[in-house]
Structure formats: C-alpha cells, structure tokens
Amino acid sequence: MKKIISTRMAFFAIALLLFWLKTYSIYKIEFELGVSGAMQEFLLFFNPLSSGLIFIGLALFSQGKKAGRRIIIIDAILGFILYANVVFYRFNMDFITIATLMQTENFGSLGSSIISLMAPYDIFYALDIIVLIFLYHKMKSNWSNERIKLRQPFAVLLTGVMVFSINLYLAEEDRPQLLERTFDRNYLVKYLGAYNFIIYDAIQSFESSTQRVLADSDDITEVQNYTKTKYAEPNPELFGVGEGKNIIKIHLESFQSFLIDYKLHGEEVTPFLNSLVHDESKDFTYFDNFFHQTAQGKTADAELIMDTSLYGLSQGSAFSTKASNTYQALPAILDQRQGYTSAVFHGDGKSFWNRDKVYKSLGINEFYYDSFYDMSKENVINYGLKDKPFFKESMPYLKNMEQPFYAHMMTLTHHHPYLIDEDEATIEPAETGDPSVDRYFQTARYLDESLEQFFNDLKEAGLYEDSIIMIYGDHYGISQNHNRAMKEIIGEEITPLKNAELQRVPFMIRIPGVDGQGINHEYSGQIDVMPTLLHILGIDAQDYIVFGTDMFSDDHKEYVPFRDGDFITEEYSYVNGIFYNNETKEEITEPTEEMKKLKETVHHELELSDKVLNGDLLRFYTPNEHWEPVDTSDYFYPEKSEFLSKDNEEDEEKQDDEVIGADEEKSAKE
C-alpha cells in the first residue's frame, strides 16, 4: 500500500480525487449557480476534472518526492483561489476577475468586511491539503526516485485537454455561443468551472485592452446611430426649468427601495425619506420603479452610469481599468455649457475606486475626501466617516463653493456589514438571525436621520430653496445569499423574478419652482439620469452619446437593462434566460416576437456601451461646437491643508489686486 501511494501517479490520483470532490462540494454548498436539468448538473460535476488534470498534472514533470511536494503546492494554490472566490461570492454573488483584482486601491478598507464573510467551518475546505501533507510525510521513506518518463505527464495533460474539449462541446450544446454572448459569470462557472473561468477571464482582459488599439473613428458612428434612434425628446414643460440652479446629488449607500415605507417592529425605518415621498406639498418626484444597473464596480458603477449614461463593464469597474479614457460626463458638460463648478464629497480615502484619477477624466473640479474631515476614532466606522459628521463637516465647504455648483454627497455608513455603535442605533435590529440583514435596518435609520440633519442645515444655509436636489440608491445592500432572511423580511419567497424586482433603488428629484409629481411609476434606471438632468437644465441630450432617455419625456424608453443582459419592463421581465409576466409572476413559455426583439436590443445596447469603454471611442467624437475635450492636467485634488493655503493665496492675490486697483484709482485721480 505504502509503495503504491508513494508513486507519483498514485499520489497524483489521490490529490486529483480530493480536489475534484472538494471543488464540487464547494460549488454545491457555496454558490448559487442556477443549475437546471441533468446536463447542467452533470457538467457542474464534471468541470473540475479538466482543471485538475492540467494544473495538478504539471507537477508530474518533476521527479520523485519533488513531484509530491509540487502536487501539494499546486493543489493548495488552486484551493486558495477557490476559497477567495467563496468569500467574495458570499457578499457579491459573483466571481473574482482579473479586473476586480486590479482594484487594489480598495483592499485597504475591506478588512472588517472580509473577516465577517469568513465562517469557522471554512477550515474543512483545507482538509484535502492536510490529508495530502499527512500522506506525503507518512510515505516519505518510500518515495521512489524513479526516472522521469515524459510520456506519463504528457498523457495526463493530453487527457486534461480532451476532457476540457468534451466539457466545452457539451456546454455549447446546452447553451450555444456560451463564450461569445454571455454577460453572466455564473453561467461560465456552472458550465466550465471556477478554474477554467480564470483562463477565460485572462483572455477577455487581454482582448479588451487590445480593443482600444484597434478601434477607429468609424466605430463611434455605429454607436451614435443607435443612441440617436433611442433618443427621447424633452418634455417641453420641464426643458430648461433648472438652468443655472445649484444641484445637490445625494448618494444613499446600499439603499434598496423596499426600505421605503417598510415597518419594522411597527415602526417606520426611514421616516424622513418616507416623508419626502408622501409630502403633501409634493416637493419631490419619487420614482418607485427605478433600478440600479451596477455590476462588480458597485458604487463606482453607479457613479459612472449616472454621470455618463454609459453602462459599467461586465467585469471589474471602469473606474479602475478605464480611468484615462475620454469621457463626456455631466461635470465637464455643465462646466463648459453653464459654468458649473462640480465637487464630490466622500468620507473615505481619495484613491478608493481610483477616484482621484478618474474624477479628472470626468471633469470634476473639487474632491473633498478623508483629509478634509475629522477622522478621529469616534467619527469613523466600517469603511470611513460616519454620515452625520460627514454631512455636518461638509456644510462649510459646500457653502464656500462657487455657484452654480454640482455637488455629489456620498454617504458611507449604510454599507455592508452595516456596523453601528450601540448608542447611535435608534431602532432595534430585525430578528431573522442573519446579522447583516438584521443590522441593515439600523444603519438605514441612521442614514435617514443624517439626511434630515443635512436638509435642515441646507435650509439654514439658504441652499435648499433654490437647489435641484436628487437622491438615489447606488446598488443592492442585501445579496441573494441572504434569501432565507429576506423571505422573512418581505414575507415572500425570493424567486429569481423577486430578486430582480428587489433591485429597485430610490430615485427622487426636486426642482425648484416646479411642483413635484409625488410618486411616478415610470420604469427607469440609473442610465436615464444624465439625459433627464441635461434636459432640466436646457441642454439637449441628443448631441451626446447617452444610452438612457429622459425620464420625464413622453417618449422615455421603458425598459431597464441589467448588466448581465437581463432586463425588466412594466409588463414583463427577462431573468436568467426566462421571460416572466410581472403581474402573475408566471413564466412566459412562448415569448412574443416583440419580447425576443427587445432581448436582442438590450444585448446590442450593452455591447455598444462596452465598445465605447473598451475602444475609448469618445476620443473620436465631438458632440457639438461647445465641446472641449477634458484636459486632466487642469485638475488637482489637494489635501485639506494645501487646499486651504491655495484659498489663502487666492485671497491674498485678491487683496493685492484690490490694493493695486485702489492705488491706480488714487493715482488716476491725482
């Protein structure tokens, strides 16, 4: 027995078997891949085999004991990669990609989030490695130093490649054009496995970087033709009503619309936001069928979509990988057309999501980040500054801004894992037993209170009455991993359709001098915000490459694409490859031609948007005679101390000018 195990091939076979078993168990326990049918079930079971044969098989090129050690090392690396995906998936319901790994600027703040995603039973996922190390040592004296027969490892690799080809063939049979068409990583992992996905992803990122080199000015024409056809004329009653007004855009972190009017323990969770929705004087218009459209880029996707009306990328975040692209974003357009000064306020480090780089490309003039705030211990929780001190301390900066301004206030406390100091929690947690879900209501309440405080301060500073105020949720806060708890909260099974419906986030807007509409039921998404705002300010969106349409227009296009190619309309939804009737919640087994056509349109639209980002196509496009490409060297985001000294210098210069002016006046008189 000892002899057998200590041959390279036998040790390899044991390692392969353990690896296979572990990978399959993790698929079943940790990931929700939506497996349906015998073929998909089989492929899920089958797909680790080729990766095991190929990757672990590489160790067989080494001799004797060394091969044993290398088998263990490769197995451990593969195990680590899979486990990293497990942890990532527990929150994001998604797999790690090279693009997400490039977001290293984010790693610093992630500490508490990652630890809360690990579980004690995870130690079992290292069991195979422990068994292998044990066997290896046990058999140490018997490891043969037989000479390498190259035939053996080559045969293993070849078998691996063959197994992979069979796998791919069967997968393509079940889902044609799997590799070309898919927007959804769950599909790739389900069919090809977590390890083969890494290779696919590497090829994809390589392709996307070559796309820029190969793109030329013809490519933008196709996009322009599409956005021109989609364009919706402005609503004449609202066109230009907000011209020159200050704009205050408030970002509600991880806030889903189900919180609005939700009662926990008989109490409203967000009484202040609810009061805006139901305000008798209808100051605001609240869109209750508004959806986020973000993917792996989370907050960064929301920021990008809302300010550029382009979709985020299907992998990673454009903020991280496309920061130096040419953009024609709201801040730059508003500056050039109407002299707006733009600013972002956010109580986190300036490089998170690569903001300090990409903001320049978007034309954002000022950036108030952690160095501008009092980040002492009692003010900070989780990722950064608590929302109440954040709004408080932002007020003086806001008041000092040159007007008209476009100010983006980004909250942070209501972020996974929803931590809150006990003395600041004013509502009891929910009682589902799922800690993130239970605390979600407490940080939402805190956010609601901080908003009320901010509104009061704005009123006091005289900045409320005459400002356009927009409030939006960036993305979901509770992922599908919490379906059990969410079922208790919502009182309904979280089906795939229900989950799509839960991607609603609030969008509210107040335009001074215009009566709000109360609740507006139009189906819309983040992609629609930029053209809507442009029209309110009296700038025709037609000239710009925008994928959304004005939400107040009669011609607004009422379909909301999600980044994975699913979409939702007023009557029906397309989720995970199935059409559903929104009213009956039943599957539509025979979709109409119109439905199928809309599916094609959505996919085409996403592809075109990807082309714009991957090919950096806006560098070839001049929207109109007003447009000047953004020169990033014009933008600089100093620390608070430098900012203040810059202010002082300007003040001194001003004073000097005044003195000189006075002197000149004096001598002229004389």
Name the residues that contact ligand GP9, by CB under 6 A.
298-299, 348, 352, 383, 412, 415
Taking alpha carbons only, the member of 444, 419, 482 closest to residue 113 is 419
Nearer of residues 306 and 598 to ligand GP9, judged by Cβ: 306
Secondary structure (3-state) at 244: coil
Taking alpha carbons only, the member of 428, 514, 535 closest to residue 466 is 514
**Min. distance of Cβ 609 from Mn ion in angstroms?**
21
Taking alpha carbons only, the member of 354, 434, 342, 348 closest to residue 387 is 348
**Min. distance of Cβ 321 from ligand GP9 in angstroms?**
15
Residue nearest ligand GP9, Cβ-based: 298
Nearer of residues 116 and 159 to ligand GP9, judged by Cβ: 116
Nearer of residues 47 and 442 to ligand GP9, judged by Cβ: 442
Which residue among 299, 317, 467, 609 contacts Mn ion (CB under 5 A)? 299
Q: Give, for 167, the enclosing helix (H) or strand (E).
A: helix 151-174
**Min. distance of Cβ 492 from ligand GP9 in angstroms?**
26
Tell me, rounded to whole angstroms, the distance of Cα 243 from its chain centroid.
Answer: 31
Site size toward Mn ion, by CB under 5 A: 4
Interaction partner, residue 195 (ligand GP9, Mn ion, none; CB < 5-8 Å by kind): none
Q: Please list the alpha-helical segments (H only) found in 52-122.
A: 57, 64-92, 98-101, 111-116
Dihedral, CA of residue 442, residue 446, residue 452 and residue 454, to nearest 10: -160
Interaction partner, residue 502 (Mn ion, ligand GP9, none; CB < 5-8 Å by kind): none
Are 191 and 178 a contacting pair, CB within 8 Å?
yes
Residue nearest Mn ion, Cβ-based: 299
Nearer of residues 167 and 526 to ligand GP9, judged by Cβ: 526
Are 373 and 645 a contacting pair, CB within 8 Å?
no
Give the Å distances, CA to CA, from 442 to 115, 387, 483: 21, 13, 19
**Span of 227-235, 338-346, 466-474, 638-646 interacting with Mn ion by CB under 5 A:** 466-474
**Span of 121-129, 273-281, 468-476, 513-521 interacting with Mn ion by CB under 5 A:** 468-476
- Dist CA 306 CA 548 (whole Å): 10
Are 232 and 556 a contacting pair, CB within 8 Å?
yes
Is 299 annotated as catalytic?
yes
Site for Mn ion, residues 249 to 288, rule: CB under 5 A: 253
**Min. distance of Cβ 300 from Mn ion in angstroms?**
8
Check residue 474 for interaction with Mn ion (CB under 5 A): yes
**Min. distance of Cβ 297 from ligand GP9 in angstroms?**
7
**Min. distance of Cβ 298 from Mn ion in angstroms?**
5
- Dist CA 199 CA 158 (whole Å): 17
**Min. distance of Cβ 201 from ligand GP9 in angstroms?**
20
**Span of 57-65, 303-311, 424-432, 473-481 interacting with Mn ion by CB under 5 A:** 473-481
Nearer of residues 167 and 254 to ligand GP9, judged by Cβ: 254
Interaction partner, residue 436 (ligand GP9, Mn ion, none; CB < 5-8 Å by kind): none
Provide the residue type at 569 as one letter: T
Lookup: tokens for 473: 């949720």
Interaction partner, residue 348 (Mn ion, ligand GP9, none; CB < 5-8 Å by kind): ligand GP9
Out of 299, 308, 413, 443, the active site residue is: 299
Contact residues for 261 (Cβ-Cβ < 8 A; gap 6+): 268, 274, 277
Lookup: tokens for 149: 């027969």
Check residue 307 for interaction with Mn ion (CB under 5 A): no
Nearer of residues 108 and 236 to ligand GP9, judged by Cβ: 108
Q: Give, for 532, the enclosing helix (H) or strand (E).
A: helix 529-536
- Dist CA 213 CA 220 (whole Å): 14
Check residue 387 for interaction with Mn ion (CB under 5 A): no
- Dist CA 211 CA 470 (whole Å): 36
Q: Which residues lie near Mn ion (CB under 5 A)?
A: 253, 298-299, 474
Catalytic residues: 299
